[in-house]
Each structure stands twice: as structure tokens, then as C-alpha cells.
Structure 1
């Protein structure tokens, strides 16, 4: 079941470390601006982007599977068609509590797998907008 109520969204925002899959090194893109905003508001950002070595002063990883540090929330800036494989990588980890798909990104089947594993699944919502609204 997709997380929609404010109490659950607020609980998701209590994350400390956010892996941003599709994090962009290009200013002006949402996949750059949203993680930058989150970093400026105290979150530790772990960029996942195989096309760059660094984003926002942090080393970028080629895939979520390559991230060795603890991750609380996975924020996805990739097309809906890629969500299933990202969820596969997420479900292989024991540390992630929440999978968050940005505006316009959906995958109901992947969402069911996330919630069946006992984790939060949020889709088609902007993490920055929800942080501004609820924090």
C-alpha cells in the first residue's frame, strides 16, 4: 500500500541518510536541486549515478548495490520503467525503511513488493515539497 497520510510521510522524513538514485550533477535539474535542498536541511545525501564521480561534494556510486554505508531512504529520480530493478537492489538491503519515487514516477507492482517487505513506499510526490509542507 502506498504511503499517503501525513503521519507516515513525516515518519519517512525522519531519515538521516538518503540515497538519491539518478542524482544529477547538472544545476537546474530537479534531480540536482531536490538533493541540494535536502543536503542544506541536514540530510546526508548519497548520490547514485554511474555517469559522474561526484555530486554535491559527495562521491557518486554506480548503483545502490555499491553503497556500503547505511541508507534510511531511497529517493528515485529515474523513469518508471527502471523502478523494478531499483526496488530489487533496495530489497537486498536491510537498512532502507522507505522507497520514495519523485513526481511522475510510478510502479504499482514494485510498490507492492516494497510494502510486502514491511517498508514504506511513496510515489508521485516530491520529497522537497513534502519536507517544506511537513517539516
Structure 2
């Protein structure tokens, strides 16, 4: 079951390195402003966007599998139909601890697959909103 309890959400929010799949270089978009908020609150944000060279002052990677840095949490800003492929990439890495899909994004089958592989899953929640609510 995807994480719902505040205690478990806090545990995921304690991880430090967040790869943001679908990170936007456009200020004003949630996919830009949420990662910026995370960065401002001490997280290492790793942007994943094949259409940008740099986002938030950091090199942007074309895909999660190309990220060379450690990734604790994969934060997904892509349509629900793309979650399964992102989960597969997360499972293939040996460093990912959790997959977090933003508001309006969910794939129950992919979530179950991630959990079966030992990853924690948060679905259909904004990481910024939850951070503010629980830790802000």
C-alpha cells in the first residue's frame, strides 16, 4: 500500500537526494517551483529533463537511468501513463529508496511493482505541501 501516514511521510521527507523527473526550467510551473522549494530547504535536487541542459543551476539528465549522483527519492512530474517506465528505471538503480508521484499522478500497478521491489511509494501528493505541513 502506498504511504499515507504522517510518520512514514516524514521518513521519506528525511531523505536528502531527490531526482525530479519532469523538472521544468520554466518559473511559475509546479515542476519548477516545487523542486526550487526543495532545493531552498536543503535537499539536493537532481533535475531529469531531456529538453534542458540545466535546471535550477544543476545539470539536467536525459533520464533517471543516466543520473550519476545518488538518488534517494524519485519525484515524478510526468503523466500517470509514464509512471511505469519511471518505476522500472528506479528499480534498476540500487540507490533509490522511494518513488513519489505528484498531485494527480498515480499508477497503482506501477506502485505495487515498486513496493514489491522494496521501494516506498507515495502517490498523488505534493511533496512541497507535505513538507510544509509536516516539517515546515
Instruction: Give the TM-score category using the shorter length.
Output: over 0.9
TM-score, length-scaled by structure 2 = 0.98
Question: Structure 1: which 5+ residue stretches go unaligned?
Answer: none
Indicate the residue corresponding to 2:3 in structure 1.
3
Residue 39 of structure 2 corresponds to residue 57 of structure 1 = no
How far has the Cα of 1:119 moved from its partner?
1.4
Distance in structure 2 (CA, Å) of the matches to 1:34 and 1:106? 18
Query: What is the count of residue pairs matched by the alignment?
Result: 135
Corresponding position of 1:71: 71
Is 1:128 matched with 2:128?
Answer: yes
Q: In angstroms, what is the RMSD of aligned CA positions?
A: 0.5
TM-score by length of 1: 0.99
Q: What runs of 5+ residues in structure 2 fail to find an aligned partner?
A: none
C-alpha distance in 2 between matches for 1:55 and 1:80:
23
Work out whether 1:107 is the aligned partner of 2:103.
Answer: no
**1:51-70 deviation line (CA, Å, top 9, x unaligned):** 00000000000000000111
